[in-house]
Structure 1
Amino acid sequence: MATQIITLVGVLIGALTSYLVTVTAERAKFRRTMATRWDERKLDTYIAYVSCVKEIHRAAMEAARARDNGEDAAEALARMEAKEDKRSVLFETFVLLADESAAAAAHTVNQRTWDLLTKARDASNGLHAMRAVTLVQALNTLHEAARKDLAITRTGPLG
């Protein structure tokens, strides 16, 4: 009878151990899956936001260049305004998904973008005024924060 009890206890301990290991492994797998899912969503959002800001910058520079050449800047300004509307919407998703550092960097990018928009909307400003806005520096800071948030490491020098 004692051997049967010992065998039964051994079977129960084995079953319990197997169950706990399986549950732990499944939880870890679920967490990895969720982290990957959100990282993919973050990356897509970061790319869309930064691309939109770059398109605003490009359109503002085109408008300024047109003014400097005595041409009509209306088309470039219309593209710039449309992209600004899109950037505003993308920013909300960005802030929801980003960590604190990336969100703070995005707020700075927003401020620099607004500075650029203000200058671009002023018909008296040309390329010189546009170049005074430090948007590129703010974007570089955002890139660093986004890489850190996504745990992307650099393997070599920029070039």
Structure 2
Amino acid sequence: MATQIFTLVGVLIGALTSYFATTVAERAKFRREMATRWDERKLDTYIEYLTCVKQIQRAAMAAGQAREQGVDASEALAAMEENENRRSILFETFVLLSNEKAATAAHTVNQRTWELLRMARTPSSGTAELRPIPLVEALNVLHEAARSDLTISSAVSVR
């Protein structure tokens, strides 16, 4: 009888140990999967947001060049406004997914983008007036913050 009780207790301890080990492993796996899922979403959002900002910058520069050449800049300005609308919407997702450092850097990028938009909308603005706006520096800070948030090793900033 005592042998059967020891055997039963041993089986019970083994089953509980197995259950707890499996539960802990499954929870860890779930957390990794969720982190990976959100990191992928974060990366996609960061790329879309930064692409929008670059498209705004290119369109603003194209509008400035058109004005310098005496050509109609309305097409470039329309593209700039369309991308600004997209950037504004993407920014909300960006802030929801990013850490504080990346969100702060994105706010700075927004400020520089708005300066660029304001200057590009001014009829007298050419590319010479648009160049001094320090958007590229703000983008480099945002790139670094995004890499840190995504735990990607730092690389040299591209200008």
TM-score, normalization: structure 2?
0.96
Q: CA deviation at 1:70?
A: 1.3
Query: Does 1:55 find its partner at 2:52?
Result: no
SS at match of 1:102: helix
Matches of residues 9-158 of structure 1 in structure 2 within 5 Å? Answer: 9-154=9-154
Unaligned runs of 5+ in 2: none
Distance 1:157 1:92, change over 3 A: closer
Distance 1:158 1:58, change over 3 A: closer
Q: CA deviation at 1:68?
A: 1.0
Distance 1:24 1:70 in 2: 69
Distance 1:158 1:112, change over 3 A: closer
Distance 2:138 2:80 in 1: 19
RMSD, aligned CA: 1.2
Q: CA deviation at 1:19?
A: 0.1
Contact preservation (8 Å) 2:64, 2:120: yes
Q: CA deviation at 1:4?
A: 1.4
Distance 1:80 1:157, change over 3 A: closer
Contact preservation (8 Å) 2:140, 2:157: no
Distance 1:158 1:41 in 2: 23
Q: CA deviation at 1:25?
A: 0.5
Aligned AA for 2:36? Answer: T
More displaced, 106-115 or 65-74? 65-74
Distance 2:62 2:20 in 1: 63
Q: CA deviation at 1:157?
A: 5.3
What is the number of equivalent residue pairs in this alignment?
158
Q: 1:4 matched to which residue of 2?
A: 4
Structure 1 ranges of 4+ moved more than 3 A: 156-159
Distance 2:25 2:3 in 1: 33
More displaced, 65-74 or 140-149? 65-74
Q: CA deviation at 1:158?
A: 6.3
Distance 1:59 1:158 in 2: 22
Distance 2:153 2:23 in 1: 32
Distance 1:51 1:95 in 2: 16
